[in-house]
Every structure is written in C-alpha cells, then in structure tokens.
Amino acid sequence: MEEFKTNWSREELKAYILLYCAYADFIETKTEKEYIKSKVGEEKYRHIHKEFDQDNDYQRIQKIQNTVARYNYSKSETDRLFDNIKKMFLVDGSMDILEENIYRGLQHLLK
C-alpha cells in the first residue's frame, strides 16, 4: 500500500486543509481563496494548490491525516486549526450540508 508522506511546513498543511475545506462543495469561491491567502500567503497558496489539484480525495485525506500525525498537534493547536476551518466554512455567510459533513469528518480524523 502506498504511503502519503509530505514534507510540508505547518503553514503548508494549513493551506492544504483550508483548500480541502474550500472544495467541500466542489467550488473554490473568490472569498474562500482570499481567506486562504490571508492565512498562509500568496506563495504558499499557489505552491500547495498545484499539489492539491493533482491529488484525488483519498490522497488528500491521507496526506492531511499523516502530516497532522507527524506534527503531533496539541489540543490547543488542534483547536486553533478547527477554528480556522470553521471560519473558512463561514466566510461566505453559512455552512451548507456538504461543508458540515467535511467538518465532522475532519473532526473524526484529526481529534
């Protein structure tokens, strides 16, 4: 079985997770794009977006899960991460059912 290891920084991981969240409804809006850039910067956003576009959903989940495990996030770091995730989902005003499902799925995988 293939392993999905990354050499991402914590900021790159954040960018990847936020992109994953932005695509919960299969569309990355301009507002979502700007939110991600405000959190990680233009360069990291573009770099990670290239990799994200090449990955399928299974690879994305594996990369997120493995990289979070590698960093061994503390409870406060995980809480901050989920605060950013929630803000990402609410950037367009509300959290739809697809976004709620992704949020719950990430909570299950990462907490």
Burial of 5 (0-12, 13-18, 19+ CB in 10 A): exposed
Q: What is the pLDDT of residue 110?
A: 85
pLDDT above 60: residue 93:
yes
Q: pTM of the full predicted structure?
A: 0.93
Domain count, the chain: 1
- 5 falls within a domain: no
- 1 falls within a domain: no
Q: What confidence tens digit (pLDDT) does each residue in 46-59 have? A: 999 999 999 999 99
Cα–Cα dist 58/97, whole Å: 20
Amino acid (one-letter) located at 76: S
Q: What confidence tens digit (pLDDT) does each residue in 56-88 have? A: 999 999 999 999 999 998 999 999 999 999 999
Token look-up 């907490």 returns 111
Q: Which DSSP category does 74 fall into? A: -
Look up the domain containing 33 and give its range.
10-110
Token look-up 């005003």 returns 93
Residue 2 confidence class, pLDDT cut points 50, 70, 90: low
